[in-house]
Structure 1
Amino acid sequence: MTTRLRRRTLAVTCAVVAALTLAGCTISTDGKAGDGSAAAPTTRQSAAAVTVTPADAGTPVSPLSPVQVNVAQGTLTSVTLTNPEGKVIPGILTPDKTSWKPGEPLGYGKTYQLAVAAVDKDGVATTKDSTFTTVAPSNQTAVNLNTTGGISINDGATYGVGMVVVAHFDEQIGDKAAAEKALTVTTTPPVQGSWYWLDDQNAHWRPQNYYTPGTTVTVDAKIYGAQLGKGLYGQQDEKVSFRIGDSHVSIADDNTKMVTVFANGQVVREMPTSMGRGGTETIAGQTFSFWTQPGTYTVMSKANPVIMDSSTYGLPINSRLGYKESINWATRISTDGIYLHELESTVWAQGNTDTSHGCLNLNAENAQWFFNFAQPGDVVEVRNTGGAPLEVWQNGDWGVPWAQWVAGSALH
């Protein structure tokens, strides 16, 4: 029984071999097809691979988040980024055509469509479409680059060696460190300087020492797209450059009742003055100080004339010491109303007696000369007077010791 089965199997095998031989097919000893066989199909490994950041239909991103298109094993032939209004956003393509990014900032709260085309080395095309959305802030803040007088810094203008930059935000900043990282001050020649947060809306910047005349200063506030805490984002960037002029430093000494004015280290004028009469009085339930506070001030602004009204700081006009009058040649040096100004009625006291509410009275000639000489940022040092030292909020930035100033930075 077993012998018959073996013979039959052998016969079938021979028949198959004979059939293959007639068909012209041979089988090699290594198991591969020989002459006359069809080649096995191969898989292409050179297709262009496109990647897009951010991910398609992902979480809303900051308009400053990296938007980038890259291709491996190929080159980009077309990248089109379109905003909801149908505007095509211009882009920047690398010379080797393997990477692309937008050429301008994106907007808040917008959905963008991205269409990409690429080819591999064999010219085989690949396409990729993607969609992403930018965040829609619950609140935005603008920043104004001002002098301590609350006036915008003029691009290209000249300021004094004590110039202090104020970055004023129109909303309270929740993340001061993030805001400060967006604020850059560059000087030529380089100087050591720092930001100091006066409150939640105002950051002041000054160097450790007075500027050298001729220094150029550029302030760059790149706040757009920056998250500044509690859902607050920067509204738009601001930038300004200015120059430091001649060194103007005036020293008002209550021991001599004189204001000595220096220009680039040389005395150019000496002016008799009558400063604050001193002491305090309580009027209508409020206590007023009549000292010219000691400290380092800077010129904030000028007006000719200026209306001086005691009621603006709580002293009633109709009280014994109240006033409201037009004053000529007034150069302001503090936020709470200290000026160097003309007052002919106190010429008799200038140089010998303090009679004012706190201002530095000058005669008409000296007041007009100083008005024309002074520029915002010039330094006025008041010495040997009584009363409390000038505080930083009063325009006393230069009276803050350097270590304390640096400690006022959110990045310290």
Structure 2
Amino acid sequence: MGGALLLGTAACNDDNGGSNGSADAKATAGGGSSASAPADTAPKTSAARLTVTPADGATDVQPKDGLQVAVAGGKLTTVTVTDKNGKAVDGKVSGDGLSWKPSGQLTVGTSYTVSAQAVDAEGLVSASTSTFTTLTPAKTAGTSDNIADNGTYGVGMIVSVTFAKPIKNKDAVLAGITVTSSDGKTAKGHWFGDKRVDFRPEDFWTPNSKVTVKYRLKNVEVAPGVYGDVDKDEPFGIGRYQVSTVDAAAHTMTVDHGGGKTETLPITAGNDDNPSWNGTMVIYSKEVVTRMNSATVANVKGAEYDVQDVPHAMRLTRSGTYVHGNYWSSAFGKTNASHGCVGLADAKGGSDTSNGGKFFKSSMIGDVVKIKNSKGKTVDADNGLSGWTVPWSKW
């Protein structure tokens, strides 16, 4: 059959070129039977084997420690991780070239693409591309604080943050909240229980400085399976300087306006049965008129009271301590006659020209009021914004 095929080929060639064509055909046939060119070989593959964790297409990936790129049989050369908007994730290849991890946490509820390359000892490249999605938290801990965006507060303002759920990973939360001022002061957080953390600097804020609260909690697992709910910057300003010192024994309040400007006002503080708290407190609310009722205050001794139109009230503690105007007493500068509050002379309905009215007008939330020489105990740090009573070394 082979001969027949050769003859068939020769006959065709004869038709085109006679005996020379036949000779060409024989040469061609002979060449085909003794070919010496090497056969095609498969390309070499890299010995580097890339492993990307999580696997391609994975969902509900933990934003912390959920991503790693590793290689065996080679060294990593390039690792790029980007979110759906093309924003790159910072990371670093290990010193031995065998692994890569992100520098920080990933964002929850976000899709990422991982592109990695490695080379083996012969310089052959191995590449991998994969995608995954981080988890979307089923539970979050609501966050609230006592700061209004771009509000202005006194030099003693304490930032108090409250969570809707108990916090277990307190250090992680503290790392996710920073409070800094334009003059370089930094506030430190102090926990009161597992739902409240207060922030203050070592000493009072600088007048006319700017403070920014930075929340970065959305990627923080604040408790098992529970994440923070806020990433935002919250700026506020510090106003002029005003620090007032109440001397309960002398029945006076000295108001320091800074720059050597002070004034001393006669007051009445808590009586012997209901002494005022000692310590450093902060005005945290102001009401032109409020109602004060002994039924709303614990452990009041003596006759009950209910004054429905207390003027110029500035609250200092959750337990009911105020600096306020008083129109029903004449004890100012003479004796302590109140149920724990600091009273200033005022008129019924409130008078802007009275001591109570003028102090109310000059005061703002965040101003400091110190009380000393009272027969009462030192105020608890979490009673209002009284954290200044705690030494910095214990804050």
* TM-score by shorter chain over 0.5: yes
* Structure 2 residue aligned with 1:310: 294
State the Cα distance separating 1:164 from its structure 2 match.
0.8
State the Cα distance separating 1:314 from its structure 2 match.
4.3
* 1:160–1:377 CA contact under 8 A, matched in 2: yes
2:357 to 347, 355, 368: 368
TM-score by length of 1: 0.69
Q: Using the alignment, how far apart are the partners of 1:259 and 1:187 within structure 2?
A: 30
Q: Deviations over 1:238-296 (max 9, x none)?
A: 431112222101111123211111111423432111111122xxxxxxxxxx1111111
State the Cα distance separating 1:235 from its structure 2 match.
2.0
Instruction: Summarize the alignment of residues 104-253 of structure 1 with structure 2, pairs less than 5 Å apart.
Output: 108=109, 130=130, 132-137=132-137, 139-146=139-146, 153-253=147-247
Instruction: Summarize the alignment of residues 318-397 of structure 1 with structure 2, pairs less than 5 Å apart.
Output: 320-346=303-329, 348-364=330-346, 365-395=354-384, 396-397=386-387
State the Cα distance separating 1:132 from its structure 2 match.
3.2
RMSD: 4.0
Letter in 2 for 1:331: M
Q: 1:304 to 1:356 in 2, by over 3 A?
A: same
Whether 2:283 is the aligned partner of 1:299: answer yes
Letter in 2 for 1:351: G
Q: 1:361 to 1:170 in 2, by over 3 A?
A: same
State the Cα distance separating 1:399 from its structure 2 match.
0.9
Q: 1:56 to 1:277 in 2, by over 3 A?
A: same
Q: Using the alignment, how far apart are the partners of 2:338 and 2:193 within structure 1?
A: 31
Q: Using the alignment, how far apart are the partners of 2:77 and 2:204 within structure 1?
A: 58
The 10-residue stretch of structure 1 (362-371 or 128-137) with the greater mean CA deviation from structure 2: 128-137
Q: Deviations over 1:23-53 (max 9, x none)?
A: 4999xxxxxxxx973575462779xx99866
Q: 1:345 to 1:115 in 2, by over 3 A?
A: closer
* 2:166–2:223 CA contact under 8 A, matched in 1: no
* 2:180–2:187 CA contact under 8 A, matched in 1: no
Whether 2:387 is the aligned partner of 1:404: answer no
Q: 1:91 to 1:64 in 2, by over 3 A?
A: farther
TM-score by length of 2: 0.71
State the Cα distance separating 1:74 from its structure 2 match.
10
Letter in 2 for 1:275: A
* 1:339–1:359 CA contact under 8 A, matched in 2: yes
* 1:25–1:37 CA contact under 8 A, matched in 2: no
State the Cα distance separating 1:394 from its structure 2 match.
1.5
Letter in 2 for 1:390: V
Secondary structure at the counterpart of residue 222 of structure 2: coil
Letter in 1 for 2:276: T
Secondary structure at the counterpart of residue 328 of structure 1: strand
Letter in 2 for 1:134: T
Q: 1:92 to 1:219 in 2, by over 3 A?
A: same
Q: Using the alignment, how far apart are the partners of 2:378 and 2:357 within structure 1?
A: 28
Query: Kindly, what percent of the aligned residue pairs are identical?
Result: 30
Q: Using the alignment, how far apart are the partners of 1:163 and 1:386 within structure 2?
A: 26
Q: Using the alignment, how far apart are the partners of 2:56 and 2:40 within structure 1?
A: 38
Q: Using the alignment, how far apart are the partners of 2:54 and 2:200 within structure 1?
A: 39
Q: Using the alignment, how far apart are the partners of 1:160 and 1:219 within structure 2?
A: 16
Q: 1:403 to 1:80 in 2, by over 3 A?
A: closer
* 2:267–2:342 CA contact under 8 A, matched in 1: yes
Structure 1, unmatched stretches of 5+, are 1-18, 27-34, 82-88, 95-100, 119-125, 147-152, 280-289, 406-412
Number of residue pairs matched? Answer: 331
Q: Using the alignment, how far apart are the partners of 1:161 and 1:80 within structure 2?
A: 43
Q: Using the alignment, how far apart are the partners of 2:149 and 2:186 within structure 1?
A: 22
Q: Using the alignment, how far apart are the partners of 2:78 and 2:191 within structure 1?
A: 51
* 2:108–2:218 CA contact under 8 A, matched in 1: no
Structure 2, unmatched stretches of 5+, are 1-26, 70-75, 90-101, 118-125, 347-353
* 1:316–1:322 CA contact under 8 A, matched in 2: no
2:252 to 249, 258, 269: 258
Secondary structure at the counterpart of residue 179 of structure 1: helix
* 1:218–1:239 CA contact under 8 A, matched in 2: yes
Q: Using the alignment, how far apart are the partners of 1:304 and 1:276 within structure 2?
A: 22
Q: 1:383 to 1:75 in 2, by over 3 A?
A: closer
Secondary structure at the counterpart of residue 268 of structure 2: coil
Q: Deviations over 1:294-338 (max 9, x none)?
A: 111111110011121221224799x82232422111111112111
Secondary structure at the counterpart of residue 361 of structure 2: helix
Q: Using the alignment, how far apart are the partners of 1:24 and 1:394 within structure 2?
A: 101
* Structure 1 residue aligned with 2:85: 90
Q: Deviations over 1:75-125 (max 9, x none)?
A: 99xx997xxxxxxx322369xxxxxx9xxx8554x8x59698x9xxxxxxx
